Structures are given as structure tokens and as C-alpha cells.
Amino acid sequence: MFLKLEARKDMAYDEKYFHKFQGFIYKHIEPYYEELHDKKGYKFFCFSNLFPIEDMKKGDERKWIISSPDSAMMKWLHANIPEEIHLGEMEFRLIEPKLLKIRLEKNTHLISATPVTIRIPKSMYEKYGIKEEKNYVYWRPCYSFDAFVKQLEDNLFKKYKEFYEKEVEEFPIFEHFLFKKDVCNHAIIDNKEIQIIGSIWEFIFSYLDKKKKEIIEFALDTGFGERNSLGFGFMNVMKKKL
């Protein structure tokens, strides 16, 4: 769902927005709140940052996108979203809400709008030559790129199987990918500020067959990687140059 917003006052851009945006969504999906909020694991929604990313003057326009493979939940949110939008200290007037459905072409180019977060469990340390004592590490470019792709694909298939409640044969998804940079964000989880390490990527698909296209469209709705309900792993489809 695409939201066009108007700033109610002069405001600084809040870089620790993650839990505030998540809280707004929970507040306005009332029939789904209890099940999702208390559910362990995947929540099956994601969101972009506010863009453009900069401080605001009263009357400035900003855009925000919320995504989910749960079309019923998105229709509920679209019908019940308030005209006054409060995201922490940031206040907006809703200009326009619009439901979107992404349909990918066979030749597709994606880029991270928010960092993709991947954790490598301790059980995989030996395979990837990781020497750590923690139960998991966030993927960084000092670790194997194979580890990133493997964990990303495993995560995506787990989410797909859980959401649709069916088994599906797993297969390699990502053809060409370009690492851009790693980033460290701070988010509030259980009233504690924690560091979350993520990375920015481009993913290029020269030919999406029916099966792969279905999986990638699902991934765009639910988010790539982990911490999607905090806004991590939101992807943009690159427009083709004319």
C-alpha cells in the first residue's frame, strides 16, 4: 500500500523509526493485532522508510509503502487508516492511500530500500569458517557470500511454506547479485536499543520463470531476510531505462 503524506509541522527525520512505524501498523490492523503481535517468528509484513529521507518543513510531502502477502489485512488497513498519521514524534496528514500489486517482468532488477538482515546460526560456523562464540552472527562482508545467499534463500522458503501452509521444492533463486555496502542501524526491541547489522544489495534476474516469479513476488510483499516487521529487507523494483 502506497501512502502519500503531508508534514503537519517542521520535523527532523527520525532515524530510529523502526519500532514506531511497526507500532503504527499494529495499532491499525485491529482484527489481526493479537495474533500477529504475540506470534513468534514471521509476521508477514514489511515497510519502507519515509522518502525522500531528509528533515521536513510543514507542508512537505513524504511517501511510505507498507507491504504484506496477506491481502485481507492490507485491505483492512487501507479501509481503516486514519487521516492523521502519527509516527513517533513525526505527524502527517494522509493525502492518499493506494493499494498496489507488484507484477514482475521476466527480466527484473531489485535494489534494497532498507538493509537486508541475515543471521548465521552457530551450527553453520564450521561450514563457513566463522570463529565466534555467540549463538549467531549478523552477516557482514568479512563472511562468505555463499553464507548470505544460502541463509537468504532458506529464510525465504521457510516464510513461503509457513504462509501458504504447503510444501514446495526448494531451488536456487538468486542469479546475479551486487553487494553495495553494510550498515548498522539501531532499533528498539522489548524496550531495549539494539544494533542490527544489515547490508544493501542489488539483485538482477535475467529470466524469471513462473515458479521463481511467484517466490520473488512473495518476497517483495513480506520482505527479504529477517526483521521484516521492523522494516528491514524492503526492496524496490528498479525502473527500466528507456
Segments forming the whole domain that contains residue 116: 108-237
* Residue 207: inside a domain: yes
What's the CATH number where 192 sits?
3.30.70.1900
Among residues 43, 77, 98, which one ends one of the domains? 98
Q: Which of 58, 73, 98 is the last residue of a domain?
A: 98
Same-domain check for residues 178 and 228: yes
The reply to whether 32 and 142 lie within a common domain is no
Same domain flag for 35 and 116: no
106 phi and psi angles, rounded to 5 deg = -65, -35
pLDDT, residue 242, reads: 42
Instruction: Please compute the mean of the pLDDT values over residues 191-205 and round it to a whole number.
Output: 94
241: confidence class by pLDDT, cuts 50, 70, 90: low
Instruction: Tell me, yes or no, whether 136 and 218 share the same domain.
Output: yes
How far apart CA 62 and CA 56 sit, in angstroms, is: 9
**For residues 34 and 140, which has the higher predicted lDDT (pLDDT)?**
140
User: Would you say residue 103 lies in a domain?
Assistant: no
- Are 8 and 94 found together in one domain? yes
Could you give the dihedral angle defined by the CA atoms of residues 120, 124, 126 and 129, in that order, rounded to the nearest 10 degrees? -30
Distances in Å between the Cα of 103 and the Cα atoms of 93, 127, 229, 232 are 29, 37, 22, 21
Using only C-alpha atoms, the chain has a radius of gyration, in whole angstroms, of 18
Q: How many domains does the chain have?
A: 2
The per-type count for the chain, helices as H runs and strands as E runs, is: 6, 11
Last residue of some domain: 53, 74, 98?
Answer: 98
Place of cell 502527517: 92
200 part of a folded domain: yes
- Identify the CATH number of the domain in which residue 62 sits: 3.30.70.1890
CA angle 24, 91, 234 (to 5 degrees): 50
pLDDT exceeding 70 applies to what percent of the chain?
A: 99
User: How many residues are given for the chain?
Assistant: 242
Please state the rounded mean pLDDT for residues 62-77.
96
Q: What is the mean pLDDT of the chain?
A: 93
The pLDDT of residue 86 is: 94
